[in-house]
């Protein structure tokens, strides 16, 4: 009424009241009566805001990646922001300019500038895995950024949801990764087979070593048995040799005794020995002995006549 208006703001709004170009009141959550024809009201939101962002950058190997994330911020110095951007409001409460919308764009540009310095130094594979590095870089770099400090903003948090390549490159990387995984799977199969073959070889080698050890034991047993048999045979041979030596000595002793016994009788005629042994002389033996003597002295006998009666008597005594 009569050009006067009443303004009531919430605690999350910082209001500046200008009258005739001079600041007459400022602060969060102000409520006051003002004369609209000469007054200008500026409203700066103090609540934290979440700002999603998506931008594209080129890697060091000239591949395009898309960085998607979110910034959380709030206005820490509303007076400074109000002096740089136009946050004045119209009587219906809407902003008189589009400067408040540019705030988000400037903050995203500051984040993109910081991110670009990292992405353009990284190859594609490294850039796709750099989300944590981007978050760390923005948390450290944005509070000290000239634009952020000039606008009186405070960065509360940074999150990077994804770093994605182009669809064509994603398919190529997926195909490469798929082939690599297949190769690794094949290698795993080959390794398992090799491990099984190696294990089988070890088992066979262990069996062969066991057989060799058993055969060695058997050979040692055979050698000890042969050594025992050889010792027995050697002992037996020594026994036989000793027995033969004893037999020879016994025979020699017997021969010596017999020779000593017969030595006195060697010069005697056998007929005498026979007569001495039997106590009589056999006529047949005497005649046979006579004929034997005749045969031995046949060379000195000129003529010998034997009558039939003598022969008859000899044949039929």
For 55, 97, 158, 212, 283, the CA distances from 84, given in Å and listed in that order, are 26, 13, 24, 95, 184
Q: Taking residues 84-89, report their average pLDDT.
A: 91
- pLDDT band, very low/low/confident/very high, at 239 (cuts 50, 70, 90): confident
Pairing relationship of beta strands 49-58 and 39-45 according to DSSP bridges: unpaired
* Closest CA relative to residue 154, chosen from 95, 85, 105, 107: 107
- Where in the chain are the domains? 1-47, 48-78+98-165, 269-290+308-317
Note the pLDDT tens digit of each residue in 117-137. Answer: 999 999 999 999 999 999 999
- Quote the CA–CA distance of 61 and 71 in Å, as a whole number: 28
Pairing relationship of beta strands 49-58 and 64-75 according to DSSP bridges: antiparallel
Judge whether residue 39 has pLDDT over 70.
Answer: yes
Residue indicated by tokens 């170009």: 21
Its pTM surpasses 0.85: no
> Do residues 71 and 157 lie in contact, with contact meaning Cβ atoms separated by under 8 Å?
yes
The dihedral built from the CA positions of residue 116, 120, 121 and 124, taken in this order, carries a sign that is positive
Residue indicated by tokens 């911020």: 73
Tokens of 266: 């060697």
Q: Which of these CATH numbers, 3.40.50.1220, 3.40.50.150, 3.40.630.30, 3.30.479.30, describes 48-78+98-165?
A: 3.30.479.30
């Amino acid at each position: 009424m009569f050009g006067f208006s009443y303004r009531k703001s919430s605690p999350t709004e910082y209001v500046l009241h200008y009258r005739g170009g001079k600041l007459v009141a400022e602060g969060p959550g102000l409520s006051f009566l003002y004369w609209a024809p000469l007054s200008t009201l500026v409203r700066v939101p103090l609540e934290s805001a979440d700002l999603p962002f998506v931008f594209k950058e080129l890697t060091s190997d000239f591949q395009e990646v898309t960085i998607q994330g979110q910034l959380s911020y709030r206005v820490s110095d509303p007076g400074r922001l109000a002096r740089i951007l136009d946050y004045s409001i119209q009587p219906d409460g809407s902003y008189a300019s589009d400067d408040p919308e540019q705030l988000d764009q400037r903050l995203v540009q500051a984040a993109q500038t910081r991110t670009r310095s990292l992405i353009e130094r990284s190859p594609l594979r490294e850039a796709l895995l750099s989300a944590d590095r981007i978050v760390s870089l923005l948390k450290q770099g944005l509070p000290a950024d000239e634009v952020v400090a000039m606008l009186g903003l405070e960065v509360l948090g940074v999150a990077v949801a994804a770093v994605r390549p182009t669809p064509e490159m994603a398919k190529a990387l997926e195909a490469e990764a798929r082939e690599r995984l297949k190769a690794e799977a094949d290698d795993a199969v080959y390794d398992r087979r090799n491990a099984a073959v190696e294990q089988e070889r070890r088992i066979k080698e262990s069996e062969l070593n066991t057989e060799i050890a058993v055969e060695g034991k058997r050979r040692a047993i055979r050698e000890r048995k042969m050594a025992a048999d050889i010792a027995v045979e050697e002992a037996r041979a020594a026994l036989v040799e000793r027995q033969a030596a004893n037999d020879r000595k016994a025979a020699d002793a017997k021969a010596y005794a017999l020779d000593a016994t017969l030595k006195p009788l060697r010069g005697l005629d056998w007929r005498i020995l026979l007569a001495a042994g039997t106590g009589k002389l056999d006529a047949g033996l005497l005649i046979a002995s006579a004929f034997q003597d005749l045969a031995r002295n046949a060379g000195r006998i000129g003529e010998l006549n034997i009558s039939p009666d003598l022969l008859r008597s000899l044949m039929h005594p």
